[in-house]
Every structure is written in C-alpha cells, then in structure tokens.
Structure 1
Amino acid sequence: MYARNAATHLRRIALALGAAALCASDAAAQQASLPFAPGEQCVYRGSNRLGRIGTGTMAVEGPVQEGGRRTYLLRFDFRGRVGPAVISDQSRSWWDPAAAASVRYSKRERSPLSSVTQEVRMDPATRRWTTADGEGGQMATAAPLDELSFIYFLRTLRLADGDSYSLTRHYQPGRNPVTVRVVGRGRMRVPAGEFQTIEVEMRVRDPERYNGGEGVIRFHLTDDARRIPVRIESSMPVGGRVVLSLQSGTGGCTPAPVAMARR
C-alpha cells in the first residue's frame, strides 16, 4: 500500500510539473510572438506647423519585477521647445507580457500651461486601480492598459483592411471605450527612410487634454510583423498638433525601407 501511495504521489507531482511547464511554455510562446521585445528603442523627430520642436524616444526595457510579476518597462521620453516654452513628457508603463496587462503607470508632463504628475498602480486580480494620492476605483477589465501600453498593445492587433475595434481596456472606466480602426495602407517617408505602412486611427476619451473630450491619434505602422510606428500624429497642450517621425532605431526598431520590403 505504501508503494502504491508513493507511486500515486509521484504521478501527481509529475502531472503538476508537466502542467507548470506547459503554462510556462505557453507564456514564453506568447511573449515570443509579440512584435516588440526588450532592447527595442525608436528615436523620433518632433515637429509642428512651425518646424522641428524636439526629440522623442520610445523604448522597451527589462524584464523587471513589479508587483510580483515579470514585466517589460515601456518608456516614452520627449523634450522640446515651442518658442521660449520648454515642454517635456516622461511616461513609464510596467506591462506584463504574459497577461497583456499593465500593473503600474507613471507620467510627468511639463509645460508653461500645465503640469501633470501621475503614479498609478493596477491590480488585475481585484480589478482596482489606485494612485499615490489615494484616489482609485474599479476597473472594467482584468487586463488593464494605460496611455503608453495602449500604443504597444495596438501593435499586437490584427490590422487588416476594414478592421475596427472598440476596446474597454483603459484602467479608468470613464476613458472607455477606446476605438481603433484601420484607415488604409500606403507609403510614408520619414527621416529614417521610406516605408510601406498601415495607417491606424485611435480615438481616446480625455476631457482634461482634448477640447471636446476626445482626441484622435494617428499611427503609421510598418506593414510587416513588427508594426513599428514610423509616424505618430497627436496633440499637446502647448505646441498644438505634433508629429513624431522615426529618425533612427536600435534593437529591433530597424524596419526595412520600402525598396527592400516584400509584400
């Protein structure tokens, strides 16, 4: 009887280890299929109707531990000048690639007209978000996203002609839904070269940032598996409509120019 019990116990351990290995392999496969990975860094030239105003960088770092999870640190930095006014934006998102969800978000935006500081933690298990100031609330999803991680999540979507999405993934329920639609395909020339791209429109709700409560962000993503943003059109409190055009890249942010691309 002891031998039978021991054998049964060993089989259970083997099954448990096998299940854990399967889960780990599934998570690894999911992360391997992502169009971005740590080491990717894209450098952008920022401009508005008056000309060049600054430089921006989008990067993926890590993995790093955050909230007991293995996360990618998504980073956006912009610094520029509009006339005598200095503007800056530093955003960070700790994103769990296995769950496709954010667990922490920070933002520091500075301009002569406004100053924004955010520090948000998200708990997908309880569907709660809280800030360093004690604010918080219930989330509409167990896989939340923030402003920065939404851009990276956009790259994981199927973007066929005519595709559109209505997403309730923002951690603040009042900012939902975020709508995404494929506008078309074509060539786009930026300082880094000329590329075949997919044009995508994203509409976001943000009464504090956009007049009328809704903003429109346009992305030109490379029409390949990496979906690298080569051009981003948005707006800032100072500077109005701002265009970020890919200038250079390393660690995966090196799309093939259109002359070399295959369709």
Structure 2
Amino acid sequence: MGAVITGRVRMLFAAAGVLLGCASPARAQRAALPFAPGETCVYRGSNVLGRIGTGTMAVEAAEGGTVLLRFDFRGRVGPAGLEDHTRSWFDTSARGSRRFTRRERSPVAARDEDVRMDPAARRWRAAAGGGGAMNTDAPLDELSFLYYVRTLRLADGDAYSVDRHYDAARNPVRVRVVGRETMDVPAGRFRTVHVEMRVHDPVRYRGEGVIHLHVTDDARRLLVRMESSIPRAGRMVLSLESGTGGCATGSNAVRAD
C-alpha cells in the first residue's frame, strides 16, 4: 500500500513538451517565468482514508543560472511511514532540466533515481545504468514539467501535446484546459484554471493516466490542487495549505471574491 501511495504522489509530477494547441511554447518560454527562488508551497495529502501526510514544493537558488525545484512528501498510512524526495535542476535560460533525482521509502519498497541530461548530445543517462536519446535539447522531467505547465497560456480551449520528457518512451504528454472553477482548499478560496494532463506510464497506469491540476487564474499560476488516480489504488489529492515567498496566499489577486 505504501508503494502505491508514493507512486500516486510521484505521478502528480509527470513529463514533457511540444505544443499543438493555440498558444506557442516558444512564446510561453520567452515570457518571464512565473516562479522564482523563495517560492514555497505546502500541501495537505489525502486519500479516501483522510489526511495521510504533508507535501512541500519549493524553488531554491542554485549555481550558474539554475534553480533547484524541490518536492518533499512525508506521511503515514496506518503504522506505515512514507517518504518521497524529488529534485530537478532547471536551467532558467534554456528552460530545460539538467538533472533529476528521486528518493522514495515505504514499508514495501525503496527506490533511488539519479538522471543526468546532456542537451548538446540530446542524450540522458541514469546513475544506476540505462539511458537513451532525447527528443529535445530542452528536456523536462516529472517535476520540472509541472512548473513548465505554469508558463503556458492556458486560455479556454487551449490544448497541447508535449514531447519533451527526457525519456522518449514517456512522450507525448497531452495537456488541455478543461475550464475555470472556484476551488476551496485549506489555504482558502481561489479562482482557478482546471488543467487535465494525460501521461504515459505503463508501470503505474498500465498505459495512460490522467492527472487534474488546478492553478490560480492569474499570472502566478500557483498550484492549488492536484489529483491523480491509478488502477487498484484510488485517488490521491494534494491541496494547498499555506505558502511563503511567491506562494504567499494573502494576495487578493489569487483569492476568489
């Protein structure tokens, strides 16, 4: 059960990018990024049993024009402890990932990943072995893709087919705007854009999985709620509880009237 829960948390951070919709990804990438070092968002993790833990997403400064994107989840299901620590080193100029790591622990499974991307050669390699060719010189991983979605226009009717995951087998990820909704979460009430992501993962989803994101309907595109369901596991939800820096929730610009 612990491995299933951490798998659901992981899959909230799925993969990759080339646009087919109305907006141009190049245009989105030329715009200023809606996130910066100092942004920290704290989420309540829950499933059908109620609250199971706490997740944190943060942006931290790194060297050479790179920011560190960080996700940490700690929780319990009954007596079982769960942990997920994911990192992405993201080049803010090239708008692509350079390294991706993940460390997971549960009572029934332990997993460590360390992947490095070479944009010039368009290849990736994993510390544990394996690798391959990339479709792009601006690759994304499961965590950085979630931040990339925030750079898109997300107007009503927009749809994207994203082909930038470092692992070509995980492409494409399809993103579409479902609509606009008022969303109540522990941090308050927000006007949001509802975004649906369809991701490829033969292990966890046995094919295609669906992830629902609610981001604030303003320039910051803060993640307010994330929901995913996988076979035989049910639903996992992360709901915004609080934030600091760019994720501070006191602004009237993001709260619903």
Q: Report the TM-score, using the length of structure 1 for normalisation.
A: 0.81
The residue number in structure 1 matching 2:26 is none
Q: Does 1:119 align with 2:114?
A: yes
Question: Which one of 110, 131, 147 corresponds to residue 142 of structure 2?
Answer: 147
Q: Which has the higher contact order (CA 8 A, sep 6+)?
A: 2
Q: Does 1:34 align with 2:29?
A: no
Q: 1: CA distance between counterparts of 2:255 and 2:35? A: 21
Q: 1:114 to 1:241 in 2, by over 3 A?
A: farther
- The alignment of Structure 1 onto Structure 2 pairs a total of residues equal to 228
1:130-174: per-residue Cα shift (whole Å, max 9, x none)? Answer: 011231110011110000000000000010001010010100000
The residue number in structure 1 matching 2:6 is none
The residue number in structure 2 matching 1:156 is 151
- Code of the aligned partner of 1:161: D
Q: Secondary structure at the match of 1:148?
A: helix
Contact persistence 1:48–1:239 (CA under 8 A): no
The residue number in structure 2 matching 1:5 is none
Q: 1:31 to 1:79 in 2, by over 3 A?
A: farther
The residue number in structure 1 matching 2:211 is 217
Q: 1: CA distance between counterparts of 2:203 and 2:141? A: 15
The residue number in structure 2 matching 1:196 is 191
Q: 1: CA distance between counterparts of 2:51 and 2:248? A: 22
Q: 1: CA distance between counterparts of 2:93 and 2:57? A: 21
Deviation at 1:209, TM superposition (A): 2.0
Deviation at 1:117, TM superposition (A): 1.2
- Code of the aligned partner of 1:166: S
Q: 1:207 to 1:34 in 2, by over 3 A?
A: same
Q: Identify unmatched segments of 5+ residues in structure 2.
A: 1-28
Work out the percentage of aligned pairs sharing the same amino acid.
66
Deviation at 1:254, TM superposition (A): 1.9
The residue number in structure 2 matching 1:72 is 67
Q: Secondary structure at the match of 1:174?
A: helix
Question: Which one of 94, 99, 107 corresponds to residue 94 of structure 2?
Answer: 99
Q: 1: CA distance between counterparts of 2:98 and 2:254? A: 40
**Structure with the larger helix share:** 1
- Code of the aligned partner of 2:34: P
The residue number in structure 1 matching 2:228 is 234
Q: Report the TM-score, using the length of structure 2 for normalisation.
A: 0.83
Contact persistence 2:141–2:166 (CA under 8 A): yes
**Which structure is larger by alpha-carbon Rg, 1 or 2?**
1
Q: 1:108 to 1:47 in 2, by over 3 A?
A: same
Q: Secondary structure at the match of 2:145?
A: helix
CA RMSD of aligned residues (A): 2.1
Q: 1:259 to 1:122 in 2, by over 3 A?
A: closer
The residue number in structure 1 matching 2:182 is 187
Contact persistence 2:212–2:227 (CA under 8 A): yes
Q: 1:88 to 1:236 in 2, by over 3 A?
A: farther
Q: Identify unmatched segments of 5+ residues in structure 1.
A: 1-29
The residue number in structure 1 matching 2:76 is 81
Q: 2: CA distance between counterparts of 1:195 and 1:165? A: 24
Question: Which one of 232, 245, 251 corresponds to residue 251 of structure 1?
Answer: 245
